[in-house]
Amino acid sequence: MNWYALFYPQLMILIPAFVTLLTKTRPSSTLDAELQRAIIRRRTWSLWLATAGSSLLHLGVHRFMSPENAQWLWPLFFPLWFVWAIPLLQAKECGWCSPSHRGHERAASLRPRDMERHVPTGAWLASGAVGALLTAATA
């Protein structure tokens, strides 16, 4: 058993909860403050319960089955992040996650982009030749 089997999956499981805990809440422009607090409270509780369940699952597998199997539970990070943490961050109006704080809309450029930053044909041929030589050298 190594440190990876116990600590890395636990770290990955706890990251979404700690990121949302450390993220500042901004007042919503569309919701009442009381409603926003209620939504944040409900989503925070659901995230913490899901985090506790995932952590207990990892520790149970580690204790009662095998540490080798428990080290593969780190992908529990993804449902915790995408199902629970992202909606909570959007409710907190954090600015880097919420679609309401994107700023101005971008306008289309009127310049043609087909020749902008064009890579010369010689550069493509040189990189292809180097790639072919390296492939031939390793084969």
Backbone phi and psi for residue 26, each to the nearest 5 degrees, phi listed first:
-105, 150
pLDDT band, residue 109 (cuts 50/70/90) = low
- Distance in angstroms (rounded) separating the CA atoms of residues 41 and 47: 10
* H or E segment and range at residue 109: none
Res. 131: pLDDT tops 90: yes
How far, in Å, CA of 37 to CA of 16, rounded?
Answer: 19
Has residue 103 got a pLDDT over 70? no
Determine the average pLDDT of the residues in 8-23: 89
Please list, in sequence order, all residues whose beta carbon lies within 8 angstroms of the beta carbon of residue 47, skipping any fewer than 6 positions away.
16, 17, 20, 80, 84, 85, 88
What is the average pLDDT score of the chain? 81
pLDDT bracket for residue 117 (50, 70, 90) = low
Residue type, 15: I
Model confidence pLDDT, tens digit, residues 21-78: 888 877 777 778 888 888 888 989 999 999 999 999 988 888 888 877 878 888 888 9
Is 136 a residue whose pLDDT tops 70? yes
Confidence of residue 116 (pLDDT cuts 50, 70, 90): low
Query: Which DSSP letter does residue 64 get?
Result: I
DSSP tag of 98: -
pLDDT of residue 130: 94
Q: What is the pLDDT of residue 107?
A: 63
Rounded to whole angstroms, the Cα distance separating 15 from 86 reads: 12
